[in-house]
Amino acid sequence: MSMRITQIMGRITGVLAAGAVLALGLTGTATAQPAQAPACPTLEGCYGYQDMRAFSNELIALVDGFSGASYTNMSRPVYRYIPAGTQQPTACTDTTGAPAVADGTAFNYCPADGTVYIGQDSLYELYSLSGDGAAALGLAHEWGHHVQDVAGVSATVVSQLGAIQSENQADCIAGAFLGHLDARGILEPDDYADVRTVLPKIAAGEDDLTRDHGTVEERATAVDLGLRQGLGGCNVYFPETPVLA
C-alpha cells in the first residue's frame, strides 16, 4: 500500500475517531421485517446468514433517512432481496445483450427498472468478512447509482473513463452517507476500519485498459471526499450534471 493510500485511509479512520460498527440498536429497527431483526445494541456480529433480509432492511432504513434529509423529491429505488439459490429477472441486459437476472450472489443496481438487487450471499460476504460498515457502504454505493440515474449523470456516461468516474462518484455518495450517519452519532470507530478493510477488496483488479471501477486510491479518495464535503462535493466528478444542486 502506497503512502498516499495510507494517508487517505488514515483520514477515513480519523474523521470518525471521535465518534463512530453501526449502533442501530439506538435508532430502531426497520419496519419491513421487525420480527426478523435480532435485538442487538449494534449491527456488528449481530446477524447470521439467515438474517440477511432483516439486516438489509436496517440498512435500507438508514439510506432512506439520508435520502429524505438530502432531497425533497428524490424517488426511492425498489429494493429487492434475493435469497441464495433463487433468481429474479431484471430489465437490464448483460454484456452480451441478453436479458439479465439477479441472483442470490448479486448486489447491484439496474437503472432500467430502478431496482437495487441485494443478494443474500453477497451481503453476507461483506458483512461477515469486512463488517457492517462495509455492507452499509456497499448498499449506499448502489443507491448512489440510483441518484446518478435520477440526476441524469448515467445518461452522460459513454466511455470507459466515464464509467470509472461514475463508480468513483457512487463511492463519494456512499462516503457522504457515512458522514451523515456520523453526524447523527450512529457510527462507531470500527465502521471506518470496515471501510478501510473492504476498499482493497472491491477496487478494480484489471489493468487500465479494461477496468471499469476505481483503483484502491481512487475509491479511497472518493469515499474521503464524500465524508468531508457531503453530497455537494461529489459534483466534482460530473460538474455539468450535479447530484446535488
From first to last of the 245 residues of the chain, give the pLDDT tens digit. Answer: 222 333 333 444 333 333 333 433 323 333 334 445 566 778 887 899 999 999 999 999 999 999 999 999 999 999 999 999 999 999 998 877 888 899 998 889 999 999 999 999 999 999 988 888 889 999 999 999 999 999 999 999 989 889 999 999 999 999 999 999 999 998 877 676 667 777 766 655 555 666 777 788 888 899 999 999 999 999 999 999 999 97
pLDDT at 33: 41
pTM of the model: 0.82
pLDDT at 206: 53
Q: Which residues, in sequence order, are CB contacts of 217 under 8 Å at separation 6+?
A: 2, 4, 5, 8
Question: What is the rounded CA–CA span in Å between residue 218 and residue 142?
Answer: 17
Q: Which residue has the cell 441472483?
A: 103
pLDDT at 95: 75
The DSSP secondary structure of the chain, one letter per residue, reads --HHHHHHHHHHHHHTTTT----GGGT---TTSGGGS---SSSTTT--GGGHHHHHHHHHHHHHHHHHHH-SSPPPPEEEEE-TT-EEEEEEE-TTSSEEEEETT-EEEETTTTEEEEEHHHHHHHHHHH-HHHHHHHHHHHHHHHHHHHHT-GGG--SHHHHHHHHHHHHHHHHHHHHHHHHTT---HHHHHHHHHHHHHHS--S-TTT--S--HHHHHHHHHHHHHHHHHHGGGGSTTS-S--
For the beta carbon of residue 140, count every other beta carbon within 10 angstroms.
26
Closest by CA to 178, choosing from 162, 194, 163, 167, is 194
